[in-house]
Every structure is written in C-alpha cells, then in structure tokens.
A and B are shown apart, each in its own frame.
Chain A
Amino acid sequence: MAGMNQVFSRWPSLAPTSRKDADAGVERRLPAWMRQAPPSKRSGGPTLSPAAALAVLGSVATTLGGYAAAALSLPWGMAFGALGVAAAACSVMWILRLRNTCDLSEARETAIFERAGISMWREDWTAAAKAVMALRLAGVEDLESHFASRPDALRAIRASVMIKDVNSFTLEETGAPSKAAYLGSLDRLLPDTDQTFVQWLVAFGRGDRFFRSEAHVTGADGQQVDVLFTAMLPTDLTGFGDILVTSLDITAFKRAQAQLVTAETQLARRSRVATVGALSASIAHEVNSPLTAIVANAQAALRWLRRPEPDHAEAMLALEDVVRAATRARDVVARTRSFIGNAPHAPEPLDLVEAARDANLLVERDMRELGATIHLAPEEGVPRALADLVQIQQVFVNLFLNAAQAMADVPGPRDVSVAIQRRGTMVVAAVSDTGPGIAPDRRGTIFDPFHSTKPGGMGMGLAICRNCIDANGGDIWVEAAPGGGAAFHFAVPTSDG
C-alpha cells in the first residue's frame, strides 16, 4: 500500500518514522520488538533499580571481605587485614554512595519529568502491543483496514491503554486540579470521533522508531483541545508498559489554521458564486433573446391566422422565424455546455486511497462537528485509477459530508466506512453510512441537479459528483448498505487497463 511509511498527520515531519532499511521485502517481516525474547526477570524497565544494584554490589563486597579474612593468616596478615577492613569499609561506602547516586538519578529522572516545560505522559500500552503482535503473528499486514471494519475492537483496545502518570506541566497547562483527572484509561480523553488512535497501532505493527500525530482530545476540564503527540517507541515488549509521550497543545495553532482555511473557502465560494452569477446572467441574456423572438413571432403568427381573413403568408414568415430563433437558442445551450464542460480536467494515475485520505483531512472539522468517524478499508494492492485528482477529492468530500449528515440523528457511533477495491478494469470506491438510507424509488433521481432533501440544500452535491465521475469515464450509483444505510459507489477506470 502506498503511503505506508507516512504518519497520519499534516504536521511537518522531517525525519522518517521507520527505518530506511524497511524495503518491500523486509517490511513484511515482524518488527524487532516482537522478535525480542521477553526478558526473564521482571524488572520495571531499562534502568537498574537501586535495590538490585545494592544486591549485586553487596555480593561483591562479601567476596572482597572473604579474601581479606584469608589474608589474615599470612605474615603480613595484619597489614592485609587492615587493608581488607579498609577495602570492605570502602566498598560499603562506595555502595552507599552508589545507592545515593541511584537515588539521585531516579530523583533526577523524576525532576526532569516533573520540571520539563512540556506536557509529558507515561502510558501503559502493553495490552495494545500484545493485540498488535497477535494480529501480526496471525498474518494481518494491514492493520488500518483490519480495524476499519472492526471499529468496536479498536475501541476496546483504546480502552485498554492506561495513563499512569502525567507531569506537573500538564496540570499547569490545563489547570487540572490533580493528576487523578488524567490517570486511567486513554478512552476518557479521546472522543469517539478520534481518527488517530489506529495510527499508533499501525506504527507498532510496522516497528516505527517514533510516533508523531495530531489528535483531538477532551481535556480534564471537559474542554476539547488539539494536541501533537510524540513518543519514542519501545524496542521490546516490556517497553510498552511505560511509553513516555510528550503532548504539545496546538489548539491555538489549529484554530488559526482553521480560520485561514475558512477564509480561503469563503473566498473561493464567493468567487464561485460570482462566476456562477455572471454565467447565469450571460446565459439568461443569450437564451432570452431567441426566446423573445420565438414568443413574439409565434403570437404574431396566431394573430395573423385568427384574423377574419387569415394572412397565411405573414404567418408562414413568422413561423419560419420561430424555427430560426429556436435553432439559435439550441446553439446557445450547446455552446454553454461545452464551455462548462471545458473546465480543467487532468486525468493522471492516482491512488484512490490517498485521495480519500486527503479528502478526509479536508472534512476533518465537519466530521468532528457531526460526530462522525471515517474508516478507510482499502483492499490489498488496489491498482491506481486514471482520473482527475481534484475531481475525485471533490467526490469524496461530498460523499463524506452527505454520509455524516445522513447520520446526524443516529445515536451512538456514527461510522462512515470507505471500501476501495478492484472490479475488472475499474477501481470501485464505496462510501457507506448507517443513516436512514435512500428509498429505492429515489435512487434513480438522486443525482439530478436541484434534488435536495436537506433544508437549505441546493441539491447540487450529488449532481456535481456525477459530473465529476462522468468526466472521468466512470459511473456513480447508490445501493443499500448492509447496515441499512446508504452505500454510494463510484467506479473509475484503472490506469493499467
């Protein structure tokens, strides 16, 4: 699958997240942390605990003491004895000092954690790592697709991730009263609409060295904030018990970014409205002129014929002009169509999965507001399609928004699933929702312009979709989704065939 090595994030990433040696052949192999034999002794982590250090050093001291006692029987025993005692004393002091050092290093570690000017979380991902390992061992390669069709399993794993500790800065930054507000399942912090969680599992399954992704979390005070999570990923299974995650509050940044996007969108919309306005004015003028001639001539013809002595010659001339004007009107319509049809269209080999992912990013905010989540489940090895990227993205955006809006009244999880697969010489994408669905008698007309069921809707969304797909030599249709909702399908030709 393309984009395999990319993190699901728009955050500028300078370094690759996985090793470069992960070529196609090696990629299928299990990541190192899964192949690592589990350590025999139950130690908390890579740092040696002071107690363990003391035990090891204690035995060294005893041995030294033994040598010292043996030396006492030699002539220079006294001297050696003194030396031995001194050595023993030294080693005890050394041990004590080392113990202090260990305490110190732990204290320092705690101090760094607590005093750092960035939010840090210690999280236990053991259960999630085990689940990922089990899936990889069972031969599941594409975790994203796997979980896309099993949203409930994903939610269960999410609930198993435990936040063990957060640092002082986290409390400082969010104004949370105590650490207790954060401790416990990650589930409480990630809203149901979160789409980034699965990327953690993807990164685990791929053996990435670090993870970086934006997420939208519910803070301890119930406020929703945007954060950038970063973490070095463990190299063995035990490491998953204690992942240190830094979290950067990027809410203000995201808000500014969103405002910029809104401003740009509004500008684009306004200029589009202005263009449509100018176009419709010109069409109105171009079409109304021949229509005026048609109506005037036809009425004149009627009047000539209705006279007590009908004037057939005048009526004939009038009717000939009716035909001439009608032909002119037809030409205006044909010209307008070809003018609009000539919109820039650049078919190129493109990855529908990537197009869907980009479209997902475009509607991220709308999805969140509508409480919907998009699950992408492409089939393995879907070929590239030959189509215009912008048009395909437009189709995805419209279908995603429609799907989410259709589920606005659905309680519980609002899942939009996107399946992408090959069918003969076409690539077919299906966007399914769990909304009320489309009645069979409306499925034929739903793509007509001005066909809207939404209050305030223009009824142009699906008509635009059909236009885009037609322009790419494809087909668009709607079926009933297995769950009873609507499943919008579109097919575009593959680039190879």
Chain B
Amino acid sequence: MAEALPKGHAVAIVDDDPAIRAALDRLTRSLGFQPILFESAEALLSDLQAGVPGCIVTDVQMPGLGGLDLLKVLMDRGVRVPVIVVTAYPSKASHERALALGAFAYFAKPFEADHFERCLLNAFGETGTSRR
C-alpha cells in the first residue's frame, strides 16, 4: 500500500449496513480514493476533532442520527464539507430537504460507479490530486 494521505483527502463513508460499508470501501478504493468507514453519524461526528475528511458519503436511513440529521449538525457547527447523500428509499421530500441542508449531491441506491466517481471528483474540486 502507498503512503497515508492527510485526512483532508479522505472520503468518509457513513452507513449502518456492514455489507454496503464494505462494498463502498472497495469501490472507493478501486476509484483511487482513500475511504474511512463509520457505522453511524455519531461515530463520524466524534472523529471530527481529529480532522475533517475531504468528502462525506452518508446513508439517509440509519438508527440514531440519520443522514439528514448529520447535514443539520454539520451546518450548525459550521463544518464546511461536501456531503453526498445516498438512500435506498429516495423521495422528493427528502431530496428537497437534503438540498436545503446544503447536500452536495443526492442519489438513490444502487448507483453507477461512474456517477459516484464524477461526484467524488467534483467534491474535491480537482481532477485526481486526492487519488493515488
């Protein structure tokens, strides 16, 4: 494995489903990004002191804080980070709410790897500097 990158270049993946976490971990790595996995929004929030990731990919429906709650907390704390919201049960209402809370992107599971890749690239606002 190559040398560790600073946390600002990492992609935080928040999903309570271990199978999806593992799959997104693998996909993110295959795309050349460095994932950090969290099983809940709370776990991500308590890790923020150690540094803010370059991008967050979060599920909507989770026990405890959901993806949209997470957006709200980040907004309240003034943490500015692109957040990609993914959900297995997309709805117009949750889409609108996510955008109102400043989500960077909102899409339905399952999703295309190409779409995911473009989103990550846009989130980092560059072409490949976070990739290895």
Contact = CB atoms under 8 A, between A and B. Distances in A.
B88 A296 contact: no
B110 A296 contact: yes
B110 A285 contact: no
A251 interface: no
B19 interface: yes
A328 B20 CA distance: 12
Contact of A296 (B27, B61, B89, B108): B27
Interface string A282-323: 001100111111111101111110000000001001100100
Interface in B50-73: 61
B31 A289 contact: no
A303 B30 contact: yes
A324 interface: yes
A288 B88 contact: yes
B30 A304 contact: yes
A119 to B, nearest CB: 58
B111 A292 contact: yes
Contact of A289 (B20, B29, B30): B20
A296 B20 contact: yes
Given A288-B108, A314-B26, A318-B26, 13 more contacts: A284-B88, A285-B88, A288-B89, A288-B110, A293-B23, A294-B110, A295-B111, A296-B110, A299-B113, A300-B26, A300-B30, A304-B30, A317-B26
A324 B17 CA distance: 13
A284 B23 CA distance: 19
A325 B22 CA distance: 11
Contacts of A296: 20, 23-24, 26-27, 110-111, 113
Contacts of A299: 27, 30, 112-113
A293 B113 CA distance: 12
A487 B112 CA distance: 48
A111 B41 CA distance: 90
Contacts of A289: 17, 19-20, 88, 109
A104 interface: no
A292 B31 contact: no
Interface string B1-36: 000000000000000010110111011011100000
